[in-house]
Amino acid sequence: MKLTTNFKLQEFVPQSVFKQFGQSATWFVNEPHIVSMQWLRDNLTKDFGKNIQLIVNNWDEGGPHHFRGLRTEKSLNFNPWSQHSYKCNASDFDSPQATVKELYDWIIANQRRIMHETSFRAVEDIRDTKGQWVHLDSRWIPSPNGLLVVRK
């Protein structure tokens, strides 16, 4: 099920949730977060001058990622307080067209724009992701001055 121009529902929910709920799995995703992911892809594509695909979950295409959007108790990294576990309010992603460092650096350089035009409010420091992914989430932060850079 297509949610935006470039993202489908399967990219934000694990296979088990999609199998159980089908299109009703939209109940478990945060629409502003998904719309913000599309904004991110569109603006990365524009600024990088090439199509930038963002890979969240790819289980439906035979890939290994199941829990980079919504996380359930079946995820090895499940935490009931995680933004991933609360209505898919977070996404971990990478791209075949750009390195994690390039994506992260662009996000940090454009954080004022991001704060004004998206629901994103926090980014995980890539030192904690070991360069494997970028994490953005849409938690509510009253009166933010910029993106919260989360450290483990």
Q: For 56, what's the count of Cα atoms within 13 Å in the CB-facing half-sphere?
A: 30
Residues 6+ apart with CB under 8 A from 51: 45, 97
- Confidence band for 150, pLDDT divided at 50, 70 and 90: very high
Query: Which CATH number fits the domain that encloses residue 111?
Result: 3.30.1380
In the chain, what are the helix, strand and coil shares in percent, each to the nearest 5? 40, 10, 50
Would you tell me how many other CB atoms lie within 10 Å of the CB of residue 100?
17
Structure tokens at 141: 């932060």
Residue 86, pLDDT above cutoff 90: no
- Confidence band for 143, pLDDT divided at 50, 70 and 90: confident
Is 142 among the domain residues? yes
Is 108 among the domain residues? yes
**Terminal CA-CA length for the chain:** 34
- Confidence band for 142, pLDDT divided at 50, 70 and 90: confident
Partners of 123 in the beta sheet?
136, 149
Which helix H or strand E contains 148, and what residues bound it? strand 148-150
pTM: 0.96
Is 2 among the domain residues? no
Is 4 among the domain residues? no
What average pLDDT does the segment 79-90 reach? 93
Is 49 among the domain residues? yes
Is 1 among the domain residues? no
- Give the separation between CA 52 and CA 110, rounded to whole angstroms: 16
Range of the domain at 16: 9-150
Question: How many domains would you assign to the chain?
Answer: 1
pLDDT in tens, 19-75: 999 999 999 999 999 999 999 999 999 999 999 999 999 999 999 999 999 999 999
What average pLDDT does the segment 140-147 reach? 88
Residues 6+ apart with CB under 8 A from 118: 32, 35, 36, 39, 40, 138
Question: Which of 76-85, 99-108, 115-124 shows the lowest mean pLDDT across its residues?
Answer: 76-85
Is 86 among the domain residues? yes
